[in-house]
Amino acid sequence: MDNFVLRPVMAVLDKVEFDGSSADEALSEVQHLGKPTHAGVSRFTEHATRMYLASHRPHADVAMRPVRELWVAQRITKTVVWELYAWGRRYESVDGRLREFRFLRLGDVGSRERDPTEIALAAYVAAFGAPAAWPDPWSQPFRPSGRAGAQCVRVMDVGLVNGSVKPCFEGTAEEVEEYFAEHGRRQVSTIVAGGDAVPGSGCASCKRVTVCDGPGRTPGLLGLDASHGPLRTVSISGLRYYRKCPAQAYLRSVHLPRAYEYSAEAELGQAVHAWLEAAHDGKPTQCGRDALPALGSSWSAGKWHVAAGVLADAGIRMLAHHVEVCPFHEASEIDSIQVEPRLTFADTTARAIVLARPDLVYREAGQWVWRELKTTQKAPESFGDPLRKFPQLALGVAVLAAGGLGPGGAGRVELEILRPTGAEIVLIDPADDERVETARAVLREWATAWRADHSFEARVGRNCRWCPVSLWCPSYPGPDENGKDHPSGAASATAAES
């Protein structure tokens, strides 16, 4: 998938592979040509380019040359232009019998399996496509020309954080046909048919977002005055990172690879969330204690594992206390259950795509309920107004008050706090004008500086020591005087995948 962080990397590689520039020359030309980028993105571009070039040893068996044109498979009927191409780097053997397609990803190739549909499309265009330049304007069809296809095809995946390389497919054109029939053809007919809109973080860069019916339109959601800046994507956690450090928020938002960032306690919180996500998925059945792991044992939920010990037991006790406050305890007329849904709202006033991932939303007797979950081992304490302490609750109130979840009333927003010693529910009424006003004021307070910022400079301080994107940050002051290691040293960068 195209990502704007990859574009300067591609531009540098083009200069090296097609114009014969050195990496240094190409980097300096590209950094001075395009519009100014964040210094952290420039640093990543340089790192990624050098990693790619170092990973790209010529194959000993065949001499390969880079290919500038895209490989496009095209069929034009009376009503539709059917075009396939894939986004990456292309190479072919001098005799044209072998083509190699390379995907680029920001993180490590081992961080996530590449989708077989993507592999099938890339293999197909390499095996059967003809070279074509990018059409100008892009709304025009491609004009492929030259030799179509190759006898043999290789598809590789390259991880830019460390130059890791993984073969995804290797075979003859006939084998590509079979692989494509299994993994690609159905997907392609969906694309041709249009498919359902899948709103999300891609919306901000989509030309059609203002007319698309994908993201829910909720003007004024963030409580800001009319903005004229570029459309941007934000979430409550993004605003939290912004408060800590604008540079960290920015470098996270463009999905640069991150060092591992979870403490043992944070891992436990994720495991409790994942356990309840699975328990609540689908039908409104009250959780019971029978399914809980025994005290003293290790347990897992989703991709999270908690080794036997004090923390694992604390998590089991939290889950046992959840039973008392389970949303489906004595509940009736429940429908539209969505567990950790990825919700997208278009705040056309703030020109922002707002992403939210509440822990649970559902309708009870026609009224929407928005529930957030927090796990903690701290003793209960007074935290003042929950809307101020937990801005994700303010977003829930603003969304329900705006009718953002669809047909149904604004029922309630809940915060469930789980401790090893007990459970607590905080309730907020989104039909109460004062609560709605306060929620909007909180969101405005959190979002104003973010919306007005155009440079996202680093706020250097203690937080830098734990910052998972400090590897890319030119303002990172280095390890502290106690000689603590850099938390995201290149060699140990466990890349989170975008």
Nearer to Zn ion (CB atom), residue 176 or residue 326: 326
Cα gap 264→315, rounded to integer Å: 12
Does the protein bind Zn ion through residue 272 (CB under 5 A)? no
Nearer to Zn ion (CB atom), residue 178 or residue 333: 333
Residue recorded with tokens 């850099």 = 486
Q: Of residues 102-121, which lie at the interface with Zn ion (CB under 5 A)?
A: none
Residue recorded with tokens 């604390």 = 314
Q: Which stretch binds Zn ion (CB under 5 A): 18-26, 54-62, 320-328, 368-376?
A: 320-328
Q: Which stretch binds Zn ion (CB under 5 A): 23-31, 284-292, 390-398, 406-414?
A: 284-292
Q: Which stretch binds Zn ion (CB under 5 A): 49-57, 216-224, 261-269, 286-294?
A: 286-294
Nearer to Zn ion (CB atom), residue 351 or residue 371: 371
Closest contact distance (angstroms) between CB of 278 and Zn ion is 10
Closest contact distance (angstroms) between CB of 287 and Zn ion is 3
Closest contact distance (angstroms) between CB of 308 and Zn ion is 24
Q: Tell me how many residues contact Zn ion (CB under 5 A).
A: 2
Nearer to Zn ion (CB atom), residue 287 or residue 306: 287
Sheet holding 334-339, edge to edge: 334-339, 360-364, 367-375, 409-419, 422-428
3-state secondary structure of 390: coil
The distance from CA 232 to its chain's CA centroid, rounded to whole angstroms, is: 14
Nearer to Zn ion (CB atom), residue 73 or residue 287: 287
Q: Of residues 60-99, which lie at the interface with Zn ion (CB under 5 A)?
A: none
Does the protein bind Zn ion through residue 319 (CB under 5 A)? no
Q: Which stretch binds Zn ion (CB under 5 A): 46-54, 290-298, 326-334, 473-481?
A: 326-334
Cα gap 464→484, rounded to integer Å: 12
Here the tokens at position 32 are 């001075």
- The residue length of the chain stands at 498
Closest contact distance (angstroms) between CB of 236 and Zn ion is 23
Closest contact distance (angstroms) between CB of 425 and Zn ion is 12
Q: Which stretch binds Zn ion (CB under 5 A): 49-57, 193-201, 287-295, 490-498?
A: 287-295
Cα gap 240→249, rounded to integer Å: 8
Q: Which stretch binds Zn ion (CB under 5 A): 229-237, 324-332, 363-371, 442-450?
A: 324-332
Q: Which stretch binds Zn ion (CB under 5 A): 260-268, 281-289, 440-448, 450-458?
A: 281-289
Closest contact distance (angstroms) between CB of 286 and Zn ion is 6
Nearer to Zn ion (CB atom), residue 334 or residue 460: 334
Does the protein bind Zn ion through residue 287 (CB under 5 A)? yes
Closest contact distance (angstroms) between CB of 299 and Zn ion is 16
Q: Which residues contact 94 (CB under 8 A, 6 or more apart)?
A: 62, 63, 64, 65
Closest contact distance (angstroms) between CB of 206 and Zn ion is 37
Nearer to Zn ion (CB atom), residue 67 or residue 318: 318
Q: Which stretch binds Zn ion (CB under 5 A): 57-65, 283-291, 424-432, 469-477?
A: 283-291
Q: Where are the beta strands (DSSP E) in 77-225?
A: 81-84, 89-93, 98-105, 130-132, 152-159, 164-172, 216-217
Nearer to Zn ion (CB atom), residue 132 or residue 326: 326
Closest contact distance (angstroms) between CB of 340 and Zn ion is 14
Nearer to Zn ion (CB atom), residue 6 or residue 326: 326
Q: Which stretch binds Zn ion (CB under 5 A): 26-34, 54-62, 136-144, 318-326?
A: 318-326
Closest contact distance (angstroms) between CB of 269 and Zn ion is 16
Nearer to Zn ion (CB atom), residue 326 or residue 443: 326
Nearer to Zn ion (CB atom), residue 287 or residue 405: 287
Residue recorded with tokens 């010529």 = 58
Q: What is the DSSP string of 44-101?
A: HHHHHHHHHHHH-PPPSSS-EEE--SEEEEEEE-SS-EEEE---SEEEEETTSSEEEE
Residue 156 contacts residue 167 (beta carbons within 8 Å): yes
Closest contact distance (angstroms) between CB of 294 and Zn ion is 19
Rg (alpha carbons) of the chain, rounded to whole number? 25
Question: b/e for 68-104, b at 16 or more Cβ within 10 A?
Answer: ebbbbbbeeeeeeeebbbbbbbbbbbeeeebbbbbbb
Helices (H) and strands (E) in the chain, counts: 13, 19
The distance from CA 213 to its chain's CA centroid, rounded to whole angstroms, is: 21
Cα gap 29→49, rounded to integer Å: 13
Cα gap 115→479, rounded to integer Å: 38
Cα gap 471→467, rounded to integer Å: 9
Nearer to Zn ion (CB atom), residue 19 or residue 281: 281
Does the protein bind Zn ion through residue 326 (CB under 5 A)? yes
Here the tokens at position 91 are 């190479």
Closest contact distance (angstroms) between CB of 430 and Zn ion is 22
- Which residues make up the interface to Zn ion (CB under 5 A)? 287, 326
